[in-house]
């Protein structure tokens, strides 16, 4: 079965590329992916599978492939939403939707999985167990699509879940893996500080919200430097400080927004507790009132060590000309809502290198000039195909 599958994928490489280019030209934002979802549904029409649509809190799609023999139930996930970015790449299949771009590789994720799934459908008489093909919406915007799909119960019988991400961290042919905590968890913070406005010449008659806000921006960094164990990983970024006013007017109120990252749930609890403590102290110290919104988003992504070791061994021993190198990658600072699958099921989320040929410093995911070497798409299909074959028997 493995030899047949690899040959089928090689023969359909150009189809994978063309699907990716179609999706790249027609990106849709999270929770708005109606046309993309319909494209995926149409791809499976007439095939011997069960299709569930509108799964979860959006356009999620679950395709069930039932093998002829008993075996495990394996989940394979690819996301299909895009980002609110104006594309700056010179490719001929540039986004047709101004201000929306597949700048994270989800077009490639969907393209490889569609063709891999179709090949596996054709081989279902040789397949042991069941495959759940998870085409997931809204990875980019919390609460995301993964959590709602998991909570819907449609995957309850799954034994293991696998996913990949295209990353420009090396040439096509390189596959990366990392066991244990592999992606940061994330939380969102908004702080509205209400003071008392006044004339710039008479600060004693006012209560300056900007001064209080500026103090908070500095003080909140001590949560990382003075409240976390030096071996813990945490980041607090204040990305927005809305305090614009008039030069001679003391600002009445300001609004701050922040991004919080952590690699362990204990760290998450510490950061949240300390931020709330600082906000209370701000009210006391500056005589302001504060309204804090603190929303945990995605949890840290945990790769099951046993499953990850098996994936690494499988790919290292694949003897495949397209999978040229398999290396351990470091833990990565971004967040991924695949973490919700990994919370409930043994899971492995690994990485397909995709740096464009001849580019010394490729643009990373979420950049308006992000691009991939499309040779990585076949690598993704074959790598996940190899993992599927390793679950047989």
The CA-CA-CA angle for residues 93, 95, 101, to 5°, reads 125
The candidate with the shortest Cα–Cα distance to 345, out of 73, 16, 32, 21, is: 73
Assign 389 to helix, strand or coil: helix
Residue at token pair 């093998």: 67
CB 58 within 8 A of CB 31: yes
Cis omega (within 30 of 0) for bond into 94 = no
> Cα(176)–Cα(37) distance, rounded to whole angstroms?
29
266 is catalytic: no
CB 17 within 8 A of CB 111: yes
Assign 257 to helix, strand or coil: strand
> Cα(199)–Cα(206) distance, rounded to whole angstroms?
8
CB 138 within 8 A of CB 268: no
Element (H, E) at 43: helix 34-44
**Tokens at residue 391, please?**
């679950």
Catalytic residue, chosen from 79, 81, 160, 373, is 81
CA-to-CA dists, residue 301 to 177, 326, 343, angstroms: 13, 20, 8
> Cα(97)–Cα(337) distance, rounded to whole angstroms?
25
> Cα(226)–Cα(222) distance, rounded to whole angstroms?
5
> Cα(338)–Cα(77) distance, rounded to whole angstroms?
8
> Cα(134)–Cα(79) distance, rounded to whole angstroms?
8
Q: Cβ of 85: how many Cβ atoms within 10 Å? A: 19
139 is catalytic: yes
Catalytic residue, chosen from 87, 139, 140, 371, is 139
Would you please indicate which residues are annotated as catalytic (active-site) residues? Answer: 81, 139
């Amino acid at each position: 079965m493995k030899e047949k599958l690899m040959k089928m994928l090689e023969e359909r490489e150009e189809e994978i590329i063309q699907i990716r280019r179609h999706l790249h030209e027609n990106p849709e934002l999270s929770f708005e992916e109606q046309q993309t979802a319909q494209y995926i549904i149409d791809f499976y029409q007439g095939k011997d599978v069960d299709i569930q649509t509108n799964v979860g809190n959006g356009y999620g799609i679950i395709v069930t492939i039932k093998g002829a023999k008993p075996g495990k139930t394996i989940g394979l996930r690819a996301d299909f939403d895009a980002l609110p970015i104006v594309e700056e790449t010179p490719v001929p299949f540039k986004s047709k939707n101004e201000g929306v771009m597949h700048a994270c590789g989800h077009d490639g994720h969907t393209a490889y999985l569609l063709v891999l799934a179709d090949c596996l459908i054709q081989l279902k008489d040789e397949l042991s167990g069941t495959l759940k093909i998870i085409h997931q919406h809204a990875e980019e915007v919390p609460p995301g699509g993964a959590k709602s799909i998991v909570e819907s119960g449609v995957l309850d019988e799954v034994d293991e879940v696998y996913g990949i991400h295209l990353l420009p961290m090396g040439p096509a042919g390189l596959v990366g893996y990392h066991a244990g905590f592999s992606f940061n968890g994330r939380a969102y913070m908004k702080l509205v500080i209400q003071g008392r406005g006044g004339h710039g010449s008479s600060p004693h008659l006012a209560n300056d919200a900007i001064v209080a806000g500026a103090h908070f921006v500095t003080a909140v960094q001590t949560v990382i430097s003075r409240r976390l164990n030096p071996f813990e990983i945490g980041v607090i970024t204040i990305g927005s400080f809305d305090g614009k006013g008039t030069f001679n007017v003391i600002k009445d109120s300001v609004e701050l927004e922040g991004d919080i990252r952590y690699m362990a749930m204990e760290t998450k609890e510490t950061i949240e507790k300390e931020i709330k403590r600082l906000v209370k102290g701000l009210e006391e110290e500056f005589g302001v009132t504060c309204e804090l919104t603190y929303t945990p988003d995605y949890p840290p992504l945990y790769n099951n060590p046993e499953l990850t070791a098996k994936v690494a061994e499988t790919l290292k021993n694949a003897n495949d000309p397209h999978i040229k190198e398999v290396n351990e990658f470091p833990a990565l600072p971004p967040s991924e809502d695949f973490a919700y699958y990994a919370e409930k099921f043994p899971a492995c989320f690994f990485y397909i290198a995709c740096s464009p040929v001849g580019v010394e410093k490729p643009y990373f995911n979420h950049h308006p000039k992000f691009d991939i070497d499309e040779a990585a798409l076949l690598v993704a299909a074959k790598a996940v195909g190899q993992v599927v074959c390793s679950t047989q028997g």
